[in-house]
Amino acid sequence: MLKWKGVFPAITTKFTATDKLDIDMFLKGVEAQLEAGVNGIILGGSLGEASTLSDYEKEVLVKETVDWVAGRVPVVLTIAEQATKKAIQLVEKAADFGLSGYMALPPMRYKADERETVVFFTEIAHATELPIMIYNNPIDYKIMVTLDMFEELAQCPNILAVKDSTRDLNQVTKMKNRFGDRFKVFGGVDPLALESLVLGADGWVAGLVCAFPRETVAIYRLVKEGRVAEALTIYRWFFPLLELDIHPKLVQYIKLAEVATGLGTEYVRAPRLPLIGEERQEVLKIIEESLISRPELPVWDEAEVTAIAKSL
């Protein structure tokens, strides 16, 4: 069963120069995440440019990932649809793909009210037995999933986690105070990740992990081992990069970082375009300065990693 704990990368989708899926480069990135010790893989999110992918392309990405991962970690698909019917169809179709769970966004485009949002999530949950994470991002998607709404959603036994991108650190404490361990809470904003983990978040749905998987995993493990000072040293180095995650062009920025670490290409799907000019140089400067001062990371042997996993 899927354990909602640890680092879950929101993987970028790789394209070729002719705008086709670049499966070889995509799987290279996935393998780098696995080697770094992530705890799950999330496909088809905002960072994965899901809104530009066809249903067939999503199916290809899921099947390729599940086959490549081969059970080493859970594979989670993002459900980001504007119609309840379409969301349910995607969930039902994906049931045979070998997925471990879903991350569900509220209705896209239409700003649903509280009742409509709860019904939307509930009907998706009823369409599958797989576990679901709710993506709570009122900044970008204009719908806040409130504590009272989570109270209603608690009636769905397979809604088990939340990616908290509210940018309100108090939300972690509010969720834990009200629901205890009923919902696992994941920090969903890279430049607030360490703070969320220290406050008791169970995991981190990360973006810059696509380019820097080992640093991301190290921060998570150190915090969970109580070695916060060591985690903070890495986090402070990482912070200028992590801030790239909260920009409207986060996809282009993170893909440029992936190029710098050998884990991706700059190709994005229109209407997004690769960075040019002064903007590109500014982002490159952040990336290149960070690479020069890249910190030495702790090394865990296999027995230590197993012990950490059992203790969480």
Q: What is the pLDDT of residue 95?
A: 84
Specify the pTM.
0.95
Q: What spatial distance separates the first Cα and last Cα of the chain, rounded to whole Å?
A: 15
Query: In the CATH scheme, what is the code of domain 7-305?
Result: 3.20.20.70
Q: What is the pLDDT of residue 255?
A: 98
Profile the chain (312 residues) by mean pLDDT over runs of 10 residues. Answer: 94 97 98 98 94 93 97 96 94 91 94 97 97 96 97 98 97 98 98 98 98 98 98 98 97 98 97 97 98 95 63 56
Q: What does 103-126 look like in DSSP terms, one character per residue?
A: EE---SSS---HHHHHHHHHHHHH
Say how far apart CA 163 and CA 203 lie, in whole Å: 9
Q: What is the pLDDT of residue 304?
A: 62
